[in-house]
Amino acid sequence: MTSQHLSVEEFNQLLQQWNGETIKISKQELQDYDQAILELDSISYSKDTRRLDGYEPMHTLQLNGSGKTLTDDNQYKPLPSDYYEIPLEDSTQYTYHNSQFSLKTDRGEYIIELTLDT
């Protein structure tokens, strides 16, 4: 399957189909790599018009559900909240390829995929 570039609306429509599934989220920002496993209950978006600096995103994708994150010692620990946030920008590129989503921002890249791991 070839890569398919998506609008934010198309991305949201496809991602909504994964509600109730277990997903893996991988984040690569500069030298920082994180991985989380989440039981996806729902998807929401927020908009922050009162940003104090350019680092806080104006839009945020919130993946809601219980989950765990991989630590530096290769162990999983519970997420601190019942959601995982991904900052979105107007320039975010949404791609779907080989049953996974890729979100590329100015800060880094996020990969969202279905997983059998629990």
Question: What is the rounded average pLDDT of the residues 67-72?
Answer: 91
Tokens 């779907």 locate to 96
pLDDT digits (tens, 9 = 90+) for 5-51: 999 999 999 999 999 999 999 999 888 899 999 999 999 998 875 54
Which overall architecture, per CATH, does domain 4-48+56-114 show? Distorted Sandwich (2.70)
Q: Which of 1, 38, 40, 49 is nearest to 17 (CA)?
A: 40
- The domain locations on the chain are 4-48+56-114
107 in Cβ contact with 76 (< 8 Å): no
Question: What is the rounded average pLDDT of the residues 59-73?
Answer: 92
- pLDDT category at 65 given cuts 50, 70, 90 is very high
CA distance 114 to 101: 10
Tokens 């919130």 locate to 62
